[in-house]
Amino acid sequence: MRHKELAWTGVSVPVVGQGTYRMEYDRADECVDALKAGLEVGMTHVDTAELYGSGKVEELVGRALEGIELRCDEHGELLARGPNVMLGYWNNPEATAAMIDKDGWLHTGDLVTMCGGSVTITGRIKDILVLSNGEKLPPTDAEQAILRDAAFEQAMVVGEGRHKLGLLAVSKIEDATQLCARANAQLHDFPGYARICHVARLAEPWTVENGLLTPTLKIKRREIEKRFAREIEAMYAASNVRCPSGERNGVA
């Protein structure tokens, strides 16, 4: 049966699944118009979904369901509170305290932005890089900014537990100093500590076939770090030089 025929019958079709799903705009418009479809998003720690959305904005999850509170903490993590939130883990108060704070807010682990009550998921809190000085940076945000410069075909920010940020860059430009300066030019709206100080330029693209991208074309961070561990160590061991912007940056 075609989707337009479903609309005529008034059939409600629930679609249940787990993980990320992205629909092409033309099909999404048709399905939303025909089925008035909605998307409920939740997690196993709540009895019902926290969010409901039916908008057409890419990556926009939606608004909180009635009776559920949402807020974003200082690190950008989505917190939820309401009668649907679990009481805790069975006989495991330590795990409960790590998930639900003393005020009853459940820490979802999702990095989000909120505008007018609508929530957009941007990543996972576990993906945040923590530098040796305690500063935190969602690498995906920095990578998306860097990739606005066409000089970068692919990019991955590294620096967990290190003093400064490094960048693995797939680019036709071989001059790491130039790549460093161009990357930082895209990070002007980020905090001062979010600056690339080391660069390793890689020639081979990351693909699904070579095991460095997922089937949905997301980078496999752990696999890339493992595959290029020697390059990462080399770029952090390199001597500092001055990039064209005048900042001091390490190059591989």
The pLDDT tens digits along the chain (252 residues) read: 444 444 444 545 455 554 544 444 444 444 444 333 344 445 555 544 455 554 444 456 778 888 899 999 887 889 999 998 999 989 998 888 888 999 999 998 888 888 888 888 877 776 788 899 989 888 988 999 999 999 999 999 999 999 999 999 999 999 999 999 999 999 999 999 999 999 999 999 999 999 999 888 989 998 999 999 999 999 998 855 445 444 444 444
Residue ranges per structural domain of the chain: 63-125, 128-251
CB 24 within 8 A of CB 32: no
Q: Report the predicted TM-score, pTM, of the whole model to 2 decimal places.
A: 0.56
pLDDT of residue 64: 84
Sheet holding 77-81, edge to edge: 39-41, 51-53, 60-64, 118-124, 106-115, 77-81, 69-72
pLDDT of residue 48: 43
pLDDT of residue 46: 59
Q: Which residues have C-beta within 8 Å of that of residue 144, sequence separation ≥ 6?
A: none
SS (H, E, C) 172-224: CCCCHHHHHHHHHHCCCCCCCCCCEEEEEEECCCCCCCCCCECCCCCECHHHH
Strand partners, 85: 46
Pick the CATH number of 128-251 from 3.20.20.140, 3.30.300.30, 2.40.50.140, 3.20.20.70: 3.30.300.30
Domain 63-125: which topology? Luciferase; domain 3 (2.30.38)
Element (H, E) at 112: strand 106-115
Residue with tokens 């009776």: 67
